[in-house]
């Protein structure tokens, strides 16, 4: 699985920790699309290009970190084909994959501790979409894109 990683300045440190976490999984490769330090950057400048890479299929999934996970989710969801959700615990990450087939996880570095964030990331990456009755709901959403 190919994963795109990104963060604004508030999420930079957590993004770096996620990179270390992902190295334990041989089946996952990732690209860091920025930011590359804690210098202030506008989150849409990271979230939108990352979402476009996921939407075109260059990457199967994306993970974006900002202070709350909300701003990057809003920005990423403006890209057609993206289903991004901020997840603050593993249950939401699991259900977001099972029922909503999210392709971008957003995290809040100021709202989620590192250990919990790694559990959420793992859940997001290794939970498969159930499809079936859920697909007709996603089709309705896609019809307005």
Catalytic residue among 9, 21, 66, 87: 66
pTM for the whole thing?
Answer: 0.96
What mean pLDDT is predicted for residues 111-134? 96
Tell me: the pLDDT tens digits for 33-65? Answer: 999 999 999 999 999 999 999 999 999 999 999
How far the first Cα of the chain sits from its last, in Å, is: 26
Q: What is the pLDDT of residue 138?
A: 94
Catalytic residue among 9, 21, 99, 134: 99
Enumerate domains of the chain plus CATH numbers.
2-142 (3.40.1400.10)
Tokens for 75?
A: 């920005």
Q: What is the pLDDT of residue 145?
A: 83
Closest residue by Cα to residue 106 from 141, 53, 68: 68
Residue 99 appears among annotated catalytic residues: yes
Residue 87 appears among annotated catalytic residues: no
In angstroms, the Cα distances linking 66 to 4, 5, 88, 106 are: 15, 12, 13, 8
Give the whole-number percent of the chain exceeding pLDDT 70. Answer: 100
Task: Give CA–CA dist 60/51, Å, rounded.
Answer: 10
Tell me: the pLDDT tens digits for 74-105? Answer: 999 999 999 999 999 999 999 999 999 999 99
């Amino acid at each position: 699985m190919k994963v795109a990683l990104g963060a604004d300045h508030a999420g930079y440190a957590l993004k770096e920790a996620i990179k270390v976490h992902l190295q334990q999984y041989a089946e996952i490769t990732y690209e860091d699309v920025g930011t590359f330090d804690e210098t202030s950057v506008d989150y849409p400048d990271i979230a939108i290009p990352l979402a476009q890479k996921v939407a075109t299929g260059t990457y199967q999934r994306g993970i974006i970190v900002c202070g709350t996970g909300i701003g990057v989710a809003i920005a990423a969801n403006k890209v057609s084909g993206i289903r991004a959700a901020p997840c603050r615990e593993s249950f939401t990450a699991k259900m977001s994959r099972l029922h909503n087939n999210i392709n971008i996880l957003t995290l809040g570095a100021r709202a989620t501790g590192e250990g919990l964030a790694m559990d959420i990331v793992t859940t997001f990456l290794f939970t498969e979409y159930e499809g079936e009755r859920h697909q007709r709901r996603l089709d309705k959403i896609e019809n307005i894109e």
